[in-house]
């Protein structure tokens, strides 16, 4: 496909760890039966459900409720996000609407699929969106979020494709006293690129984007997030955990920008990597760019192996080596997943991480 000719290259700094080879290979896979039952990918939560198979809406397996499926133009200059012109979903919640939990399942059977999405929450609207990626092929998504005054969105996204590639572009505007919390879990066999641009442009807005990337074999996953503070008293959190086994690579680039007038910004970045074998790679790139003088920006970036003394401590109490490794690794990713507000969603994500650990360890 022509679009593939315009893909970014590792020569561009923002794309230096991106695995565009895996993306192209995923796009070229012929469609095939995946054996995945999409019904099993929805969690037992009340609310609208939408199924997209290879990027096409499947009304027979969906109850969209107030969510609309429409043709959209991709209004972004992001190199992958801009490929998503076409059929996608959108949701506009007014203040009078009750809190809504939306679930979206994306099942790929091969080839490439591009879906745009637009979510607009008016003042004080509350919603949660849970998305699940399964199957194979290249799933490319653009999600545009706009949170009005006091609106709150909890967004939980899990990447569980067995192979292929998932590229997500998130663009969000967080208004006055609004709150966006988004948690991503990469616990499948696919490659990934999670790309976020969050703008806090209302006073006292809160923006969080974080999660856990778990990689094994020769897999590569990465997240690249920029949070920009352009208003007073904003708060942002970027809490990411990367766990890499075998010869895989997990990469995290997180950037906080504080504009000149954005006084009393409170930013926090925590990037931590865990190498399960020394043949694996974790890349971390924390960046701060601050033009205001009264701000607090905490940041930390560490990569290491499991603490040998902690492993021995667990073993000395009767827990075998493999189980001790699994418990410590689970504990390592736990605080990223703990940010998910709804018990059922958090437990499902924790179970996905556990399943990954059981196979990788």
Partner 1 sequence: MLKITDLRAEIDGKEILKGLSLEVNAGEVHAIMGPNGAGKSTLGYTLGGRPGYEPTGGSAIFEGQDLLELAPHERAAAGLFLGFQYPVEIPGISNLQFVREALNSQRRARGEAPLSGGEFLKLARAQADALGMDPEMLKRPVNVGFSGGEKKRNEMVQMGIISPKLAILDETDSGLDIDALRAVGEGINRIMRAPDKAVLLITHYQRLLDYVQPDFVHILADGRIVRSGGPELALELEREGYGILAA
- 3-state SS of 40-55? HHCCCCCCCEEEEECC
Does 306 sit near partner 1 (CB under 8 A)? no
Whichever of 330 and 346 has its CB closer to partner 1, that residue is 330
Instruction: Give one word for 90, left, alpha or beta, with left for phi > 0 and alpha for psi -120 to 50.
Output: beta
Helices 308-316 and 321-337 cross at an angle (nearest 10°) of 120
Does 310 sit near partner 1 (CB under 8 A)? yes
What's the min distance (Å) between Cβ of 225 and partner 1?
23
Q: Which residue do the tokens 């086994």 mark?
A: 245
**One of 260, 323, 341, 344 touching partner 1 (CB under 8 A):** 323
Q: Interacting stretch for partner 1, rule CB under 8 A, among 53-61, 106-114, 244-252, 314-322? A: 314-322
Does 278 sit near partner 1 (CB under 8 A)? no
Cβ neighbors of 127 (< 8 A, separation 6 or more) are 91, 93, 99, 100, 101, 102, 119, 121, 152, 153, 154
What's the min distance (Å) between Cβ of 333 and partner 1?
8
User: What separation, in Å, do the N-terminal and C-terminal C-alpha atoms of the chain show?
Assistant: 38
Structure letter (DSSP) for residue 255: E
Beta pairing class for 56-57 and 49-53: antiparallel
**One of 65, 217, 313, 347 touching partner 1 (CB under 8 A):** 313
Q: Interacting stretch for partner 1, rule CB under 8 A, among 146-154, 186-194, 251-259, 303-311? A: 303-311
Report how far residue 8's alpha carbon sits from residue 16's, in angstroms, rounded to the nearest whole number.
9
What's the min distance (Å) between Cβ of 111 and partner 1?
39
**One of 6, 289, 307, 347 touching partner 1 (CB under 8 A):** 307
**One of 291, 312, 344, 347 touching partner 1 (CB under 8 A):** 312
- Note whether 282 and 251 are within 8 A (CB): yes
Does 11 sit near partner 1 (CB under 8 A)? no
Does 321 sit near partner 1 (CB under 8 A)? yes
Report how far residue 122's alpha carbon sits from residue 290's, in angstroms, rounded to the nearest whole number.
30
Report how far residue 341's alpha carbon sits from residue 349's, in angstroms, rounded to the nearest whole number.
12
Q: Which residue do the tokens 């919640």 mark?
A: 93
What's the min distance (Å) between Cβ of 248 and partner 1?
22
What's the min distance (Å) between Cβ of 326 and partner 1?
10
Does 288 sit near partner 1 (CB under 8 A)? no
Structure letter (DSSP) for residue 31: P
Q: Which helix (H) or strand (E) holds 186?
A: strand 179-186
Rg value, the chain, Cα: 20
Q: Interacting stretch for partner 1, rule CB under 8 A, among 91-99, 228-236, 310-318, 352-360? A: 310-318
Q: Interacting stretch for partner 1, rule CB under 8 A, among 7-15, 28-36, 274-282, 328-336? A: 328-336
Binding mask 329-348 for partner 1 (x = CB under 8 A): -xxx-xx-------------
Q: Could you list the residues that contact partner 1 (CB under 8 A)?
A: 307-310, 312-321, 323-324, 327-328, 330-332, 334-335
């Amino acid at each position: 496909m022509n679009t593939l000719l315009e893909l970014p290259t590792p020569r561009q700094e923002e794309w230096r760890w991106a695995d565009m080879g895996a993306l192209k290979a995923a796009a070229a896979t012929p469609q095939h039966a995946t054996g995945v039952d999409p019904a099993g990918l929805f969690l037992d939560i009340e609310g609208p459900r939408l199924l997209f198979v290879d990027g096409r809406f499947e009304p027979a397996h969906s109850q969209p409720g107030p969510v609309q499926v429409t043709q959209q133009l991709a209004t972004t200059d992001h190199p992958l996000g801009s490929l998503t012109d076409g059929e996608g979903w959108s949701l506009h919640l007014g203040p009078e609407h009750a809190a809504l939990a939306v679930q979206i399942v994306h099942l790929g059977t091969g080839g490439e699929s591009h879906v745009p999405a637009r979510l607009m929450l008016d003042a004080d609207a509350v919603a949660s969106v849970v998305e699940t990626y399964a199957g194979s092929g290249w799933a490319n998504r653009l999600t545009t979020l706009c949170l009005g005054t006091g609106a709150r969105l909890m967004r939980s996204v899990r990447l569980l494709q067995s192979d292929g590639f998932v590229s997500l572009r998130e663009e969000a505007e967080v208004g006055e006293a609004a709150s966006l919390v988004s948690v991503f879990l990469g616990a499948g066999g696919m490659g990934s690129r999670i790309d976020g641009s969050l703008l806090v442009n209302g006073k006292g807005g809160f923006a969080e984007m974080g999660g856990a990337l778990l990689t094994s074999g020769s897999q590569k996953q990465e997240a690249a997030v920029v949070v920009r503070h352009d208003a007073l008293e904003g708060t942002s959190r970027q809490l990411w955990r990367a766990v890499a086994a075998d010869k895989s690579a997990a990469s995290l680039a997180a950037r906080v920008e504080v504009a000149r007038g954005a006084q009393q910004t409170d930013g926090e970045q925590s990037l931590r990597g865990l190498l399960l074998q020394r043949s694996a790679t974790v890349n971390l790139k924390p960046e701060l760019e601050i033009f205001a003088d009264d701000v607090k920006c905490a940041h930390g970036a560490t990569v290491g192996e499991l603490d040998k003394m902690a492993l021995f401590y667990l073993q000395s109490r009767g827990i075998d080596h493999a189980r001790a490794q699994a418990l410590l690794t689970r504990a390592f990713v736990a605080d990223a997943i703990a940010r998910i507000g709804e018990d059922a969603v958090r437990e499902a994500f924790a179970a996905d991480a556990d399943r990954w650990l059981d196979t990788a360890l």
